[in-house]
Every structure is written in structure tokens, then in C-alpha cells.
Amino acid sequence: MNNENNMIRQQNGNVDKPQEHRTVTPAVDIYENDTEVLLVADLPGVKPENLNLRVDNGELNIEATRTYEKNGTTTGEESFEYLRSFRVPKTIDAEKIGADLKNGVLKVHLPKMEQVRPRKISVKAG
């Protein structure tokens, strides 16, 4: 693949027309309650196999690709690459992070560590 010209070389040696490619920062809502931080990202048209979600060194990275036929024809493809990163607080239990993707909406559940969750303190009558 020649990155300079975005050309794709097929196995038979032919070169396809350049693909149009754009990077998009997806819209994200972040909610917090006593037990978790919930991140909701809009990723329309993204399939689970085209989604890469990872936590590395205190940073949550969302990378996804959506490719579709340009102008409803097979003459070319257009693709979007969704990219977004977030710092993950140290109060999040990274081992328990979970996610689901449904109808173009990604929900990432970032559970808080037990030690930082609010807890009720019982009071004894004296």
C-alpha cells in the first residue's frame, strides 16, 4: 500500500483508484454514577469487527473504520476512520472495563474500584 497516494495494490498487481478516507472524531457523552463511568459514543455504520477498543497506560483509545460504496456504485469506496482517546482515572478498575456496540452506539462501562465507591456507614446508638 502506498500511503502517499492512498493507492491500493491488489494481489494481481493492478492498482485501484484512490480511496477517499476521512478521520472523524465521534460524538461522545459521559455519565457517572456511584459505581461506574459510562461512555456513550456514536459510531454509525461500524461493525464490531471494525472496532478496536483498548486501554493502555491509563488511556482509553477508540479506533473504528466504516467503509461503504461511494455514490451507491461499485466504482469506489469511501471510508471513515473514527478516532477518540480519553484519560482513564486511577479510580477505574481497568480489568473490569466492558463494552457493547448496538445500532451504531458504543457503550463503554468503566467500573469504579470498590475502594472509591461511596458506602453507607452504620451508626451505633451509644
Locate the domains of the chain by residue range.
Answer: 20-113
Q: pLDDT tens, 59-92?
A: 999 999 988 777 665 556 678 799 999 999 999 9
pTM reported for the whole predicted model:
0.72
Q: Is the pLDDT of residue 12 over 60?
A: no
Query: Looking at the domain 20-113, which fold is it?
Result: Immunoglobulin-like (2.60.40)
Q: pLDDT tens, 26-39?
A: 999 999 999 999 99
For range 12-19, the mean pLDDT: 49
Cell 476512520 belongs to which residue? 81
Q: What's the pLDDT score for residue 5?
A: 39
